[in-house]
Structure formats: C-alpha cells, structure tokens
Amino acid sequence: MISYPRVLLFGDSITELAFETNGWGATLANKLVRKCDVLNRGLSGYNTRLAKPILPKLIPDSASAAEIAAVTIFFGANDSSIREQNPQKHVPLEEYTENLRSMVQYLKSVNIKEEKIALIAPPPIHEPTLEKHCLTNGFKLNRLNAVTGTYARACAQVGDEYGADVVDLWTLMQEGGSDYAVYLKDGLHLSEEGNQFLESKLWPLLEKKLGALPFILPYWNDVDNNNPESSLFQSITEKKD
Ligand SMILES: CCCCCCCCCCCCCCCCOC[C@H](COP(=O)(O)O)OC(C)=O
C-alpha cells in the first residue's frame, strides 16, 4: 500500500467549511497535492468539551500518529459563546484552556511532537453583523468580541506553553485597527478574504514542516514507459496491508 503523510485539520464549523471553494483547507490541500493527504475533521457547532474525547478516536495510537505530518487544532468560536444565550456551546474559559492543554498533551503522548502541532485561535466577532444574523434567526447576539479575545489569548498561551505554533486570528485580523468585518461573512465564519487570510498565515508554518516532503510517485516523464515498475516505486517505502 502506498501511504501518504496526513495533515489533520481538527476544529468546529470554521474547519468544516475549510474545503469550500477557496476555503483555507482546500487551498492547503491543493498546495500539498502529491505530498500529503489533508483530512478535514471539522465538526460544526462543536466546542473543546465535545472535541477532547474525539481526538483519541481520530489518532488512536502511536502507529496511526506516525502517519501524521501536522495537526491543526482550531476551537474557541463556540466555547466563547455567551453562556446565557448559547448554553449548549459555551465552555468556561478555564475549562477551554484545560481542554486545549489535554489535546496537546494527548498528541504528545502518541509521539506527535509540538513542531507538528498548530493551534489556531478563533477569529474576532463582528458584533453588528453577527447580531443581525442572530436576530434574523430569532435569537439574541450570542458572542462578544472582547470575550472571544480572552479565549484567543488563552489558546495562544497554551501554544506557547508547549512550544507549538500559534495562529492567533483574533489578534492578527484586528492588527493596526484594520476593518476585520471583511474577513467574516456572518460576523463569525470566515468570508473568502478571511479564508485567504488564514491560509496566508498558516501556510508559511506548514511549508517549513512539509515543503521539503518528496513527491509521492515520480513525474510522469521520469517513468520508464517500457518498464514502469522499475522506476515507479523507487522512492517509496511500501507498507504491508
Ligand atoms: C445579516 C448578516 C449577514 C448574512 C451573511 C450571510 C452569510 C451567512 C453564511 C453563514 C455560513 C455559516 C454556516 C455554518 C453554520 C454552522 O455554525 C455552527 C456554529 C455556530 O452556531 P450558533 O452559535 O448556533 O450560531 O459555528 C461554529 C464555529 O461551529
């Protein structure tokens, strides 16, 4: 069996939507084609409380972890919901922080080193847009930008504690007082510009880890047409099924 290294994208709906046209995950998958499989394990509406027990089901042991080239952990947009308005999604800040720590520790326990882990902090909330969206759907504004900021800082801190990469979207998107509304389509989820922004911050980190990975299977012109098998598999260590 020919096995490709895997990049696992684990997160909430902002990850689930990452394979939309021009989505951040789709762009990464395209850049890594023939080198890695990019797996979307985004779960709309999930918070870290729900995600924590799932991670060991996605990567159950060191053997499966050996195929992992990189993991992104991208939660916080639901955890940071206002408890009164969104009780099912809200997770207190301390628990969120601990859940992220547990996920990183779990990855390390199956020998996925911190260099392979990137934590992505939630994007800012554009309250006027999100409020309109909430009201249209019959409920009150359920997230506040300042509160999401505290979760983003906690996420960045956990990344720093473990020496993992961090993409602090909340901070980066607001840098220089920029009009971050353009990065969000409903005040919460990434617009096309937001997807492009995230990909532009994440790719340099992943490129450092994955850019040098070899192409799986040779360029067609390098295959001996008369005797394909002699050249096709030269650079591949095959795994027995
Ligand atoms: C008047 C406002 C402008 C409207 C713009 C229309 C664009 C809307 C596109 C929204 C697409 C998002 C679809 C994904 C929805 C799933 O989201 C699940 C949760 C949010 O849950 P909740 O708190 O119940 O709203 O989000 C995440 C991060 O998982």
241 residues of the chain, pLDDT tens digit each? 899 999 999 999 999 999 999 999 999 999 999 999 999 999 999 999 999 999 999 999 999 999 999 999 999 999 999 999 999 999 999 999 999 999 999 999 999 999 999 999 999 999 999 999 999 999 999 999 999 999 999 999 999 999 999 999 999 999 988 899 999 999 999 999 999 999 999 999 999 989 789 999 999 999 999 999 888 987 665 555 5
Tokens of 146: 């300042």
pLDDT of residue 173: 97
> Residue 176's pLDDT is what?
87
How many whole angstroms from 159 Cα to the centroid of ligand 1?
Answer: 27
**Ligand 1 mean position to 32 CA, how many Å?**
28
pLDDT number for residue 212: 87
Write down the ipTM of this complex: 0.91
Q: What is the structure's pLDDT at 237? A: 58
Task: Say how many CA atoms lie within 13 Å of 2 toward its Cβ.
Answer: 12
239 Cα: distance to centroid of ligand 1 (angstroms): 42
For 220, residues 6+ apart whose C-beta sits below 8 A from its C-beta are: none
**Which residues touch 178 (CB under 8 Å, ≥6 apart)?**
none
What is the DSSP code (8-state) at residue 241? -
Q: What residue owns the CA closest to ligand 1's atom 19?
A: 45
Q: Which residues line ligand 1 (CB under 6 A)?
A: 12-14, 44-45, 77-78, 81, 86, 89, 129, 132-133, 136, 142, 185-186, 189
Write out the two tokens for 98. Answer: 């601990």
Question: In sequence order, what E strands does 56-164 have?
Answer: 68-74, 117-121
Residues paired with 72 in a beta bridge? 9, 118
* Sole residue written with tokens 């547990």: 102
Radius of gyration of the chain (CA): 20
> What is the whole-number distance in angstroms between the Cα of residue 9 and the centre of ligand 1?
19
Any idea which residues carry the catalytic annotation?
13, 186, 189
Pocket of ligand 1, candidates 10, 12, 13, 19: which has the most ligand atoms within 8 Å of its Cβ, to mutate? 13
- Angle among Cα 236, 117, 170 to the nearest 5 degrees reads 135
